[in-house]
């Protein structure tokens, strides 16, 4: 009798545990990631971009025509779609509802996005690019 009760508790306990645990796991992973090194990203041609993961979040690194480097969080601040760099228009575009962002500052410039994209700090060195979370406060 006791064994059956225990098995039942274990059976319903597991999905509840998973449900509670997943967001916590995700936020712990995010908190742990302070920087990302991208080997050979210093060779990214001007006017192009590459997508990478900053922890669990998609992010974007852009090497602009004027030789400046910009890295931004790539999750749209409207409803969370992944955004992309449009080299022809030189802006960040969200395909879900047509939102656009400035490709240098991350400012939301048109469409529904309510806030800018989070900007990371970029350090280019021979052989790699280091992306760091900006310090606040």
Q: In terms of CB distance, is 44 or 96 closer to ligand FES?
A: 96
CA distance 89 to 137: 34
Instruction: Answer whether 63's CB lies under 8 Å from 46's CB.
Output: yes
Instruction: Answer whether 94's CB lies under 8 Å from 86's CB.
Output: no
CB of 80 to ligand FES, least distance (A): 6
DSSP structure class, residue 34: -
Q: In terms of CB distance, is 63 or 93 closer to ligand FES?
A: 93
CA torsion 34→69→102→60, rounded to 10°?
A: -50
Which residues contact ligand FES (rule: CB under 6 A)?
76, 78-79, 81, 94, 96-97, 99, 111-113
CB of 116 to ligand FES, least distance (A): 13
Instruction: Answer whether 94's CB lies under 8 Å from 76's CB.
Output: yes
CB of 84 to ligand FES, least distance (A): 11
CB of 106 to ligand FES, least distance (A): 13
Q: In terms of CB distance, is 44 or 119 closer to ligand FES?
A: 119
């Amino acid at each position: 009798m006791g064994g059956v009760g225990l098995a039942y508790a274990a059976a319903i306990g597991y999905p509840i545990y998973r449900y509670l645990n997943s967001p916590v796991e995700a936020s712990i992973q995010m908190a742990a990631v302070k920087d990302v090194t991208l080997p050979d990203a210093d060779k990214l041609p001007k006017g192009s971009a590459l997508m990478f993961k900053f922890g669990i979040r998609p992010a974007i690194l852009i090497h602009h025509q004027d030789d400046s480097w910009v890295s931004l969080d790539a999750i749209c601040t409207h409803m969370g779609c992944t955004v992309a760099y449009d080299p022809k228009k030189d802006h960040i575009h969200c395909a879900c509802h047509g939102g656009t962002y400035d490709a240098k500052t991350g400012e939301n410039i048109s469409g529904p996005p309510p806030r800018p994209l989070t900007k990371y700090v970029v350090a280019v060195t021979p052989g790699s690019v280091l992306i760091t979370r900006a310090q606040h406060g």
